[in-house]
Amino acid sequence: MVSIDMYVALSAILFTIGALGVLLRRNAIIVFMSIEMMLNAANLLFVAFSRHYGDVDGQVLVFFVITVAAAEVAVGLALIVTIFRSKKSINIDEINLMKG
């Protein structure tokens, strides 16, 4: 059986790549995809620990995280489409509506 440490390491690497994606990319859709990848890294860790401790509750939590992620993506992409309609751009450097 693969040690839990290896799953923690893989999850940490995937999470870091996702965080770098949020910091480096300027395309709002790519930023969203990076957030999905960070959620996935957390889910992987939940399932690994659920297996490690022989506890089902971790997987129930993964179920809820996936549901919330689906709702979040639907609303987020709708917001991106709406912003694109009014600003003709989804570059997050140009979306500074609060500045007026």
The footprint of other proteins (CB under 8 A) covers: 1-2, 4-10, 12-21, 23-27, 29-30, 32-34, 36-37, 40, 43-44, 47-48, 50-54, 56-57, 59-60, 62-64, 66-75, 77-82, 84-85, 89-91, 93
Query: Measured from the CB of residue 91, what is the shortest distance to other proteins in angstroms?
Result: 5
Query: Measured from the CB of residue 99, what is the shortest distance to other proteins in angstroms?
Result: 18
8 Å CB contact between 92 and 31: yes
- Using the minimum distance from each CB to other proteins, give the nearer residue, 81 or 99: 81
Query: Measured from the CB of residue 37, what is the shortest distance to other proteins in angstroms?
Result: 6
- Using the minimum distance from each CB to other proteins, give the nearer residue, 23 or 98: 23
Of 20, 54, 55, 47, nearest in space to 34 by CA: 20
Instruction: For 42-100, give the DSSP string.
Output: HHHHHHHHHHHHT-THHHHHHHHHHHHHHHHHHHHHHHHHHHHHHHS--BTTT--GGG-
